[in-house]
Chains A and B, each alone.
Chain A
């Protein structure tokens, strides 16, 4: 077990190293010249050259990467080209809103998804089940930005229940969280339904019924807890999809998180910020996957440790 964990951690570290290399190569290929952008249009060639030297942009590729990696090992993500601030500081200030949004999104998708899945499984092969499954298909097929704009239109502009956009109060959080969770709700509804159907077929459920327990009690006390764990474990794998979702939702709602930070950085070719956010997001994804695997192992110890 300890050996397995150690190997998984080393593997994850290697993956992160690989991601830093791939991202670095990709950003190296960007046609834009950061030094010229910082210097501005009217700058002389000499100014541009000195900025290039200052930032180490004149060094060969491998030397730049090694320098970056050296900083990374000391927890230093470098300085933003344009904002002239430490990337660490920028990310640290933008991370809390994103984490809040993500947590609320996960809460929304689980709340909607699991409820729909349980109801559909209990009412299997009824009109209700069929319509709930159509709903789950709509959830996974709806473009997030359209869902977001629709929610703003109905609940903020028309009914005036929530603010149009922005960040600060709990009311600001509702619509972005629903938008982020809508996609996942569709997936979780389908997974929870099928997990429930698996559990409901098992012997201990039949025993519980035979003992004369009411249907509600059988479902809520015996079936749901058993069906829940494998589905909730999927949240770890879900982090990647949520990370993509955050970029879109933050853009629609003007949410001041790392998605917005990355998006603005890409438009201004602020390479250190793009690198930083990509690495932070990749870290989250790798950790999420690790947790999902650990939970899976915990649920079913028969899984081979490979």
Chain B
């Protein structure tokens, strides 16, 4: 409650929440608010010469090279972005948290092994890894989400690991230990609750990263495959015509920017509120 209250006092965060709200609503209500099916190739969607139509009366945001309504494709593309953003990042935060907590709590051989593996993954060029993974599995919506999760869990693991270590050395944990609390009880009752805020922050900021990575993979042609619309693959399909039909590149581009920006500002505000160490920096 306090967090929400604080959040609503920040202009940027309110802007971010509003944009996320609008995009989520549009994605949920997609079949109701779109005038056409996203992959309907409309006869009246092209000029007599076969060129796409610019934004105007009959087509709010214009049409693409195949005469499909861009607005309808964008709204359905929002579903793709949000599903991948939430699933991929959710999985990444869970993997990262499990590895980070296990390594930080168990330490010893298992801990070292897990963190060495994390270091290794950190030195991996992320986009190349994602591209190779996407090439191994035929990309579908869920595969793309998993590929992104496999690339993005690393930072979460690092952060959670460091926090777990510093928490387990704090006096209140030491006190519990001397009172004879079991290791499991210390972990669940005393350490895990303190990690929740970090995970909330990463769950928000990470969605921005995920949305951008999905768009990038789709732009390179190895993300979500057409005809399923995604903001990245709309640009991929139309990029060569950006001089004659700029709306086909810049409208979806603006959509990606807005969504990533919103999650970034909300996540940043959450970090400010939840992490008192950062206070006074603004």
**Which residues on A are within 8 Å of B, measured CB to CB?**
11, 14-16, 18-19, 22-23, 26-27, 29-31, 134, 137-138, 140-146, 149-150, 152-153, 157, 194, 197, 240-241, 243-244, 247-248, 251, 262-263, 266, 269, 274, 277-278, 281-282, 285-286, 289
B129 to chain A, nearest CB (A): 8
- Which of B1-9, B85-93, B130-138, B188-196 lies at the interface? B130-138
Please tell me if the beta carbons of A146 and B123 are within 8 angstroms of each other in the complex: no
**A150 contacts which of B123, B127, B215, B250 (Cβ < 8 Å)?**
B250
CB-defined interface of B97-141 with A at 8 Å, one 1/0 digit per residue? 000000000000000000011011011111111011101100000
Please tell me if the beta carbons of B132 and A27 are within 8 angstroms of each other in the complex: yes
Chain A residues within an 8 Å CB radius of B46: none
B206 to chain A, nearest CB (A): 13
Please tell me if the beta carbons of A143 and B261 are within 8 angstroms of each other in the complex: no
Minimal Cβ-Cβ distance residue in A for B131: A266
The SS class assigned to the A binding surface is helix
C-alpha spacing A262/B125, complex, angstroms: 12
> Given A157-B243, A248-B127, are A141 and B135 also a contact pair (CB < 8 Å)?
no
7 A-B pairs with CB atoms under 8 Å apart are A27-B132, A141-B261, A149-B242, A149-B253, A251-B220, A274-B128, A285-B122
Please tell me if the beta carbons of B264 and A282 are within 8 angstroms of each other in the complex: no
User: Is B235 in contact with chain A by the CB < 8 A criterion?
Assistant: yes
Chain A residues within an 8 Å CB radius of B235: 145-146, 149
B36 to chain A, nearest CB (A): 25
Chain A residues within an 8 Å CB radius of B129: 278
Please tell me if the beta carbons of B216 and A144 are within 8 angstroms of each other in the complex: yes
Please tell me if the beta carbons of B125 and A145 are within 8 angstroms of each other in the complex: no
Please tell me if the beta carbons of A143 and B257 are within 8 angstroms of each other in the complex: yes
Chain A residues within an 8 Å CB radius of B208: 140-141
A38 to chain B, nearest CB (A): 18
**Which residues on B are within 8 Å of A, measured CB to CB?**
12, 116-117, 119-120, 122-129, 131-133, 135-136, 208, 212, 215-216, 219-220, 232, 235, 239, 242-243, 246, 249-250, 253, 256-257, 260-261, 264-265, 268, 281
Please tell me if the beta carbons of B261 and A18 are within 8 angstroms of each other in the complex: no
Chain A residues within an 8 Å CB radius of B239: 149
Interface hub of A30, A247, A289 (most chain B Cβ within 10 A): A247
Please tell me if the beta carbons of B125 and A281 are within 8 angstroms of each other in the complex: yes
Interface hub of A15, A145, A194, A282 (most chain B Cβ within 10 A): A145
The SS class assigned to the B binding surface is helix
**B261 contacts which of A137, A145, A149 (Cβ < 8 Å)?**
A137
Please tell me if the beta carbons of A146 and B126 are within 8 angstroms of each other in the complex: no
Please tell me if the beta carbons of A15 and B246 are within 8 angstroms of each other in the complex: no
Contacts beyond the supplied A26-B133, A143-B212, A282-B123: 17 A-B pairs with Cβ under 8 Å: A14-B116, A137-B265, A140-B208, A141-B208, A145-B235, A146-B249, A149-B249, A240-B123, A244-B125, A247-B127, A247-B128, A247-B131, A247-B220, A262-B128, A266-B132, A266-B135, A281-B128
Chain A residues within an 8 Å CB radius of B219: 143, 145, 248
Minimal Cβ-Cβ distance residue in B for A288: B123
B256 to chain A, nearest CB (A): 5
Chain B residues within an 8 Å CB radius of A248: 127, 216, 219-220
Chain A residues within an 8 Å CB radius of B133: 26
Chain A residues within an 8 Å CB radius of B124: 19, 22, 278, 282, 285
Please tell me if the beta carbons of A18 and B131 are within 8 angstroms of each other in the complex: no
> Given A144-B216, A145-B219, A146-B235, are A194 and B281 also a contact pair (CB < 8 Å)?
yes
